[in-house]
Every structure is written in structure tokens, then in C-alpha cells.
Structure 1
């Protein structure tokens, strides 16, 4: 496929049509009620029913469910040749696919996202820093590998199997002295190049859709940064054999994360809509809230790479650093994500400042979680991956009914997530969403 860097000054015919369809779809009355529902729900207020959400990450990057989207929107349906136009075309088609095919409670946003062009850090080659011009990226996720140079040392991974395959970290931090080679990540944006990128994006959509810049290159999960620097094996041994070293690196990456996010805010780089990521479909901010402050954002905090440590070790090596971080973040808007079994760690997690949402994976004991969480937080209840690979509609319904029965009058949403493939059967997403809506209505 021909790969150009420049778009024409007039949107192509297929892009003009896609923009029109998105504008028309976004006016559907269903979204008015959904906006109110999600806003009330995440404030712990009663809603007419339990929200249902099929979570498909957006964009074209390695973390954005590339296999799944290739099944839902085959490559032969994507018509653009220009790199940036291809990215925007995919975002628009992703919006329309959800609107047309999946009866969940997502709210369609008309916003088109482009990745900020990062200015070169000291000693960094310019071509590395400018590599995001027109290239693919994850709308909802930080690209961990790309953020490595910001810390002074690269995040090096050995990957096999292509998109969705396995990988292993090649440690950059091994000895104590390696920590001295790190530095806090600077918030550096190439303003001119980013402005050029936005202008090109606006040309592509004909000035008819809002274009925003995704600026967060670090995220809010210091343990995952630590793992990217030293590797899983070294961490597992380190919490036993090198506790002082582990506290030193966790202190460093946590403070670096805090300072980066505060600098991003000071530079005007924060936009609360970007922070909705792929778990908060919408929020109407209070009239006195500033959408460009961290306090208005929904930071996703996770420590999934620490799933192998005990609750006691979690309390020592993770919880204090998460608490330090979240005190600076979204006012009652922190979302804790964890695909692992969090059952015995929930008592610690619930102490986080500003916590509001908690991911309850199929490996976490839902009954125990319900007892611990009560109505003080939102539980995001997620079924087992087998749901879309092997369950019959009757089995899907049985699981959903059981989850609703356990939750009772607690504040939950039903979320189908971590969808790495639909095994060539895209209709399964629609089936699950429809059944979940029926169960939610029956239990309303």
C-alpha cells in the first residue's frame, strides 16, 4: 500500500461520507439518556438500570485490540492510503461499528484523536521523538515501549507471534548504579509539529469534527513502569532479596509519574475526555469543574504485573506508592484496573485516595468483593473470556443473572472486556450485549 505523509486540502469522498455518518449517528436520542446515566452512575446515584458496556479499545496501536478490529472491520474495507487519514478513518469506522452493531450503553463521541509529537529528550535522536507524526497509536492506552526513552533508558522487549503475541522484558535496570542513569520523564511536546498534525487532521475531516491531541505518554501505573525497566523475574526476587532497592525504584518512578502529570497539567496538556480511556464512556462535569485539570480526569491505575506477590507484599511495595500518586489525581475519579485475582488485596485498594471504580475480574471472588466494597464504589463486573468463545446464549444469561443477584442493590456495571479476538464471529458481541441489556432491564 502506498504510504504518503500529506493529505490533500479537501477531504476524500469516503472520508467526507464517514464524517457525515458520524455526525448523524451522534445525534441519536439514545445518547442523551446514556450521558445522564453514566454521569449519575459514576457518582453512585441511582440509575434506571445497570449500565452495559462492550469494551473495545480504539485506535490502531499494538494495545488496541488489533486482531479483533481486523475481524470487525477487515483491512479491505479501509480505503485511505495516507497514514494519518488511515488512522482517522479507522477511528470513525470504530465509532460507527459500535453504533450500528452492538446494543450496549456506550456514548458516541465525535472527537478525533491524534498523538502529540514529542520533542526530543536530551541525547535522543530526533527521528525517534518525531516518530508519531501520522503513525498509528492507541487512543485509549499509553504505549509503554514508546515512553521508555522519557525515563533515560529504553524499555526493551522481545516479542514473538505478531500482534497479540507474547513478550519478555530485557532489563535495562539490573544494578543499583543503573538507577542513577534514570531521570524523571519530562513533558516535552514539539508544538509546531503537533500543530501541523492537527491542521492535517482537521483537513481530513473537513473541519466538521473536533480534533484533540492525546498528550499522556506515561500513564498512572508506576509498577508497570518499574517492570518495563527491570523485568518480572527481577521484581519477584527483589521484593524478598532486595527490598531497599525495590523501594528505591518504586519511589523514583512514582515521583517521576507525579511530576510528569503535574507538568502536563501546567502546560495545558490535560483534557478530561482523554482520561475516559476505555472504561468510562462519558461524564458531564459539574459547572465549577475545569476539564483541563487532573482533578477532573479518570486515571487508570493498575499493578497487574504484581499479581504474583502476596497481599502483605502488595501492602508494602505497591499500596503506599499508589496512594501517593492518587492523592494528586481525579477527585473521586480514580479507576483501579486489575485482570488478576484481587480478592485479598481489595481491603488495601479501597484505602486509595479518590478511588471510585474497581475492576472485578472473573478471577476475583464477586461475592467477597460485594461484601467488602458495598455501595461506596462502583464495581466493574467482567465475565470470563470463555463467554465469547464457548458459552451458549443460555450460559451467558445464567452468568449475568448470577452476577446481578450477587450484587443486589450495589453499584455495578456489566462490562465485556479484554476482547483479543472474536474467533471470526463478530456477532457474539452483539449477542452478549443484547442479553446483558435484557437481564439489566429485568433486574431494574
Structure 2
């Protein structure tokens, strides 16, 4: 239950957010994102996400005070958003409203990851290392997997609306926001089996893997149907997989939160170490059945794609393609489809020591910009998957300054 102190804390943060969101820079950055996403880039765009928040709190501004579980989550998001806007805004856009997550219950696939080893650099690390127990070793194990059931808690949502009307009154609007769907089923499989076991199974038990993928693909399609019936998709945040997704034509005003009006993201990160033919057989052929349900797709994460672009371009609805540090960026820019944005991921290892080689950073960013320019590509730079900055947040802030200098040269 919310206390008066909780309400006071939230309203104070909302006032700060409302002021920041009202600044003209947000409208200008949104305009630039629309240009980029429609392939009429004025300059490369820059974002920073997936930050080691346990290393960021230099002044206490990230310490949450709200007791209520739901509203503490909202508080945490506000604090992190405002921190980024103060210290490393790059090209982030603050919406003229706050997104409130809808209370959606997911029953899961009927199987949970089991770790045999769990290693953290320190307590509270955002990127621990884990080794997983193989729970799928036969067709009988595949039968354990269930289609997830997604249910909106309507009673709780009514309560959230009542509370939000009081908290937000006179400050800023809010919007109840659904889910951006994660279609990377190999992320789940890797945690159920362990990465090495996945590779062995692809070679030794392909029939079992096909049965597993068929079941999960059917599950994804069923989940999309459930979410469409309950109107549970996110069409308000304008973020998908750490990228800003503003478009002129999606969503349109008064559009319903359905999959056809929404972005989703797909990936198969461990397939960097398999052949393009395996990627086609065990990823693309299944996702070709899922992606058409969506308005737009962001594809890729840490996976290498430049050496299998002829396979990836078979996938429908893709608007952005990830050029990870594992991809050869010049080749990526040369072979990628012209209808996509080149979503480059600068290497976060350059920040891991907490000390920056500024010339190395500049040269790296310039190399990416030159590669995109040579092939007339629309480019975004998204620094993400940042496991550590060795407790020196200022190196992230400085990386942002360097990146913004380079894209505006």
C-alpha cells in the first residue's frame, strides 16, 4: 500500500521528469530518429543502455525510497532515466508522458533454468557468469514445455490507475504500457541446456532440436494471439531492444496495442559459432513464421551477422539489424539490405578498466561512421551490454561526449 511519503517521493521525481521531458531537445531528437528510421538519416544517432547500475550511484540519486513493490519499480525506472538524461543523454528522447507497466502474469514455459555454477565479480553485479544444467536431453524432455499463458490482472490494473491518478495529478500524463515481445527463443534454450550442450545437440540430436523449436514457435504464435486478444503489446515506449523506434506511420493515433502496430526483437546469439546453413535451418525457418505478425522487427544482438546476411535477409519485417563487435563492420555495411538501419554496437570492453583510451574510442567510432558512409547506410551507435566500468561512471559519461562529438563532425 502506498504511503504519503511514497507519493511525495514519486511526485518529486515526476516533477523533475516533466521538466526534462518538456525541453525542446526531445522534439529535435525525435525528429532525427524519425529521419533515421525512415532511412533519411541526417546524422548517426547514439544511445547508451544496459548499464552496470550497481556501479553508477555517485550521489545517492539512484537509491530507491518507495516501499510499495510496483511503485518502487516505477521509481527505479524514473531514477535511472533521469540519471542517464543528466550524465549521458546522447540521443535519448523523453516521452511527454510516463509509461506504467501493465500487471501481466506470464505462466512461463514450464521449465526454469538451473545453474550449476554462478560467478559474480561482486554482489549485485548486473552481468554474472552462469553455467547451466542440461534439462533437455530427449523428446520426453521436450514434452515438458508448455505454452505460456499471459493474463492481465484487471483488478490490480484498476488499482494502479486509481493510484496513478493521484500521483500524477497536475504534473504529467501517464500511459499503461504492455510488452515488447522477445522472440529470441535460443536465449531460453541456452539457459535450459547450456551453450555447449546446444552445440552438441545441433550435431547429434537435430530431430530433438527441431521438435523443440516447433513447440516453441507454436508457443510464440499462441502467445501473440493471447496478447492481441487482450491488447497487451507496447506501442507507447518507442523503445525496442535499446533502440528508439519512432516512425511516422506506426503506431498511428488511436491505434490499438496489437502486434501489427508494435515492434518486437529477435536474435540467436550463440549462432555466431555455427554455420550460416545451421542458422537458416534452426533459426530463420522458424522465425519466418513469427515475424509477419509484427509491424517491425529489430534483429540481432551480440551475434555475428555479416557472414550470414544472405540468410538473415530472408526474415520479413526487419527494420534494424545489429552490427555487433563480432561482425566485420565494413563487410556488414557492404552486404546488409538497404531497407534496414545499421545498428552498430561499439565494443563495451573499451570501458571495462574504468580508464578510457580516448583516441582508441574516437578511431573506433570513426571507423564505423566511415564504413556506413562508404555504402550510404543509415547508422545508429548503441553502446550496451556494459558489464563493468570498474566503478568509474565518468568514463561512460565521457564516452558519450566523444561519440556525440564524432557523429556531429
TM-score when scaled to structure 1? 0.81
Helix, strand or coil at the partner of 2:77 = helix
1:55 aligned to 2:37? no
Q: Is the 8 A contact 2:238 2:246 kept in 1?
A: no
Following superposition of structure 1 onto structure 2, how do residues 248-327 of structure 1 map, counting pairs within 5 Å? 248-274=211-237, 276-286=239-249, 289=252, 290-327=255-292
Partner of 1:7: 2
Partner of 1:106: 92
Helix, strand or coil at the partner of 1:196 = helix
Helix, strand or coil at the partner of 2:135 = coil
Aligned equivalents of 2:59, 2:164: Cα separation in 1: 21
Say if 1:283 and 1:403 are closer, same or farther in 2 by CA, change over 3 A.
same
1:39 aligned to 2:34? yes
1:366 aligned to 2:361? no
Gaps of 5+ in 1: 1-5, 58-64, 119-146
Gaps of 5+ in 2: none
Partner of 1:414: 381
Q: Is the 8 A contact 1:367 1:406 kept in 2?
A: yes
Partner of 1:87: 73
Partner of 1:441: 408
- Superposed CA deviations along residues 244-269 of structure 1, whole A, max 9, x for unmatched, are 11111101101211210221012111
* Deviation of the 1:206 alpha carbon: 4.6
Helix, strand or coil at the partner of 2:362 = helix
Aligned equivalents of 1:95, 1:368: Cα separation in 2: 35
Q: Is the 8 A contact 2:309 2:335 kept in 1?
A: yes
* Deviation of the 1:179 alpha carbon: 2.2
- Superposed CA deviations along residues 151-175 of structure 1, whole A, max 9, x for unmatched, are 2333333433253211223333332
Q: Is the 8 A contact 1:116 1:189 kept in 2?
A: yes
Aligned equivalents of 1:217, 1:355: Cα separation in 2: 15
Task: Pick from 241, 249, 260 the counterpart of residue 204 of structure 2.
Answer: 241
Aligned equivalents of 2:356, 2:250: Cα separation in 1: 45
- Superposed CA deviations along residues 329-380 of structure 1, whole A, max 9, x for unmatched, are 22xx210122133231222112210111011111110011011015331111
* Deviation of the 1:214 alpha carbon: 5.1
- Superposed CA deviations along residues 106-133 of structure 1, whole A, max 9, x for unmatched, are 1013324335242xxxxxxxxxxxxxxx
Q: Is the 8 A contact 1:71 1:422 kept in 2?
A: no
1:341 aligned to 2:304? yes
Helix, strand or coil at the partner of 1:238 = helix
TM-score when scaled to structure 2? 0.88
CA RMSD of aligned residues (A): 2.6
1:18 aligned to 2:4? no
Say if 1:322 and 1:46 are closer, same or farther in 2 by CA, change over 3 A.
same
Q: Is the 8 A contact 2:365 2:406 kept in 1?
A: yes
* Deviation of the 1:430 alpha carbon: 2.2
Say if 1:395 and 1:288 are closer, same or farther in 2 by CA, change over 3 A.
closer
1:155 aligned to 2:113? yes
Q: Is the 8 A contact 1:22 1:96 kept in 2?
A: yes
Aligned equivalents of 1:287, 1:380: Cα separation in 2: 20
Aligned equivalents of 1:440, 1:315: Cα separation in 2: 35
Aligned equivalents of 2:319, 2:111: Cα separation in 1: 34
Helix, strand or coil at the partner of 1:20 = helix
Say if 1:93 and 1:173 are closer, same or farther in 2 by CA, change over 3 A.
same
Helix, strand or coil at the partner of 2:141 = helix
**Matched residues, number:** 397
* Deviation of the 1:435 alpha carbon: 1.6
Say if 1:329 and 1:284 are closer, same or farther in 2 by CA, change over 3 A.
closer
Partner of 1:129: none
Helix, strand or coil at the partner of 2:386 = coil
Partner of 1:144: none
* Deviation of the 1:11 alpha carbon: 5.3
Larger % of strand: which? Answer: 2
Partner of 1:428: 395
Say if 1:23 and 1:102 are closer, same or farther in 2 by CA, change over 3 A.
same
Aligned equivalents of 1:301, 1:397: Cα separation in 2: 30
Partner of 1:116: 103
